Structure 1
Amino acid sequence: MRPLRSLTLFLAVAGFQSLAAEEPAKKEEKPKAPAPTKGHVFAWPFMDWKEMQPRGGMTQGSEVTLLKGSKDSWKRLQESGLAKFEQDRRAILAMIGSYRVSFDFTETVGLAEDFKPTRPYFSWGTEHVSLVEDKGEFISLQHSLVMYFKDEKGETQGPHVMKHWRQDWTWQDPEMQVYQGDLTWKKTPTPQPEGKWTQAVFQVDDSPRYEVAGAWNHEGGLSIWRSENCPRPLPRREFTIRKDYNVLEGIHEISITPNGWVHIQNNRKLQVSKDGSKKYLGQELGVDRYEEITAPDLATGFNAYWAKTNGYWKDVRDTWASILKERDSFSMKDTYDGKQLYEAHFGYAAKLEEAEKPDPEADLKHAKETIDSFLN
């Protein structure tokens, strides 16, 4: 396992900014480019397709082998006689696995004068989702990028492992951390939490991103979770290129499939002023698809990384848990001492990968002091 040290490559991988558009096909199977005089753009059929080519990088990853048939977790979810709560739990746990992940986003509605859609966004990566904690009514899942790349000679290099985002699920959570804009979050009572799960999503550095409630439904072999409307900060794919809005809000759907799961987002883009007034600019549709793979091996690379760094990341999670419990609201600095929060955490974690033995006291001290320096 090779730690991923390059900041440029980190930004590419963590934000999926420069990954390949698809796994490489054999030369004889490679599809031809669209005809120069014709092309169809989803949601914008009368636009010139050449102006709407997806943005994203061209880094070439290794080929993957997709799972044939269905996952065991899918089969367990289809068992008859399950209580609703147990069905919900099995659906959440079914998201664990190793996946080829694709991210597709396109603006669908213009809400500003003289609106012109930006180019659609597409990227992909290989990602391992592991179980951090399961307390029955609380389940925590850690996402980690485990990438293999081809060098100039066509030889596969890797695995490169990068801790990615985390999702925490809580049954009938009485309160949530709701994003207010301007890197500020506020503790808010959950509206009618009975029968619902909250999904709390955390950034790559384990700082909060958004939290939203929703209910699972299991009918006709379909297990789907639908969220309520939820505001959140701009994703990396947007804040690196957009300055005209500062909040993304939307409704999420997570559907469990025989070979993985699909996350669909219906998002609106809006500018929220300091006085709380809102101005909507547009709307987008996003489809994140997780397809189980059997090769390359992602678990081994992740496990090697996690064995070295998990103690530190637990300190980071526990520090944030204390902050969220004690404070009714909090706001964060975008940078401190010329760095962003993820840079401080990932730099320390990289040193842990090379360390001969752990130092729990130093880990906890660094986690607390680092996070405290980014809080206003």
Structure 2
Amino acid sequence: MKTPFLTTCLTAISVLALAQTTPKPADVAAIKAQCGCHDVDFVYAETFAPDKAYQFKDRYQAKGTELVFVDEERPGKLVIQHLLVMGDSLVIKHWREDWLFENTSLLAFDQNATWKRVKKSPADVRGQWTQQVFEVDDSPRYEASATWIHADGKTYWESTVDAPLPRREYTKRHDYNVMRRTNRHRIMPDGYVHEQDNDKIMRSEAGDQLLASEKGLNTYRRTDEKKCQAGKVWWAKHRAYWVDVRTVWNEVLATRSDVALRGQVKGMVLGRELEDLGKTALASTYDSKTTRPLIRQTIEKYLK
């Protein structure tokens, strides 16, 4: 017969276990707090190199206006889309991030546009959120799992993960092939800060060799929503197509333990082909049933 003390302890343990497998409202609020119309400053500076002969690259700085919004939400998952907005008419589909609660299956970047499926135990990801980051064409980029921290008046999420070269460098540099990113998302009263401590690594059969380290600071400050009106109009027109693109990608990735992508096929790149397909599909009444097979055919051409 259980004693009252033992019964109380078991009940407390059961309640704790339940709490750990239910997303905290504060976590969901923090993820959503990254949304809005933002003026963004992007700053990167190389800070260290083990080789004294290394020539540090110039600091990178850029500015932009970015619309960030939740495009899909269900228990344990939020899909957040980024759009770059330039003036009243030019809109560029930017990166996407999916947040998954207690996700046990992640794609780990290896090198040269290849990823390997990694399985984690439920205990490993208890209370954690996976941030899945995707390219502008919704192909995979990097994924990492960590816990949202709410303490001492601060709210942040931090992880370290291997990733491909950033777009600002991958067409210009060939002296490294992996970026090991420490990403820190800090929620601020007027937006958020994406702080980065990055190692630029050359990966080969001999192992990993550090080329240089850099500090990154992407500061998102909320601004007048009217500055992002063109982005809202653009997404309303293009959403059906890009939802189909990400749906097809999700179906493709779910069936693969490893993923490898070709950079070009007959002189074309995946992003351009998907953009062209979208323009054609949206030129008349959009038909998802007809378009999805064409999206899959396009994506599969770039899969090794």
TM-score scaled by length of structure 2: 0.88
- Could you tell me how far apart the structure 2 residues matched to 1:362 and 1:84 are? 37
2:261 is equivalent to residue 332 of structure 1: yes
Which residue is 2:4 aligned to?
Answer: none
2:292 is equivalent to residue 364 of structure 1: yes
C-alpha displacement of 1:103 = 0.7
- CA deviation profile, 1:254-298 (whole Å, cap 9, x unmatched): 00001100000100001112x362111010000001000115431
Which residue is 2:47 aligned to?
Answer: 108
- Could you tell me how far apart the structure 2 residues matched to 1:252 and 1:161 are? 26
Which residue is 1:28 aligned to?
Answer: none
Q: Is the 8 A contact 1:308 1:352 kept in 2?
A: no
Which residue is 1:344 aligned to?
Answer: 273
- CA deviation profile, 1:287-311 (whole Å, cap 9, x unmatched): 001000115431x322322222212
- Could you tell me how far apart the structure 2 residues matched to 1:316 and 1:356 are? 18
Question: In structure 2, the residue corresponding to 1:117 is in which secondary structure?
Answer: coil
- Could you tell me how far apart the structure 2 residues matched to 1:240 and 1:325 are? 29
Please list, as runs of the form range in 1=range in 2, the aligned pairs for 1:1-376 lying within 5 A after superposition: 85-148=24-87, 158-190=88-120, 192-227=124-159, 229-273=160-204, 275=205, 277-294=207-224, 296-298=226-228, 300-352=229-281, 355-376=283-304
Question: In structure 2, the residue corresponding to 1:343 is in which secondary structure?
Answer: helix
TM-score scaled by length of structure 1: 0.72
Question: In structure 2, the residue corresponding to 1:362 is in which secondary structure?
Answer: helix
Aligned residue type for 1:215 = T
Question: In structure 1, the residue corresponding to 2:145 is in which secondary structure?
Answer: strand
Q: Is the 8 A contact 2:66 2:83 kept in 1?
A: yes
Change (3 A) 1:315 1:293: same
- Could you tell me how far apart the structure 2 residues matched to 1:324 and 1:173 are? 15
C-alpha displacement of 1:175 = 1.7
Change (3 A) 1:295 1:170: closer
- Could you tell me how far apart the structure 2 residues matched to 1:182 and 1:356 are? 38
Structure with greater strand percent: 2
- CA deviation profile, 1:11-43 (whole Å, cap 9, x unmatched): xxxxxxxxxxxxxxxxxxxxxxxxxxxxxxxxx
- CA deviation profile, 1:327-372 (whole Å, cap 9, x unmatched): 111100001121111111122233455x232122332122111100
Question: How many residue pairs get matched?
Answer: 281
Question: In structure 1, the residue corresponding to 2:267 is in which secondary structure?
Answer: coil
- Could you tell me how far apart the structure 1 residues matched to 2:47 and 2:157 are? 23
Residue segments in structure 1 that go unaligned for 5+ positions in a row: 1-82, 149-157
Q: Is the 8 A contact 1:98 1:293 kept in 2?
A: yes
Question: Please, what is the CA RMSD of the aligned residues?
Answer: 1.6
Q: Percent identity?
A: 33
C-alpha displacement of 1:101 = 1.0
Residue segments in structure 2 that go unaligned for 5+ positions in a row: 1-21
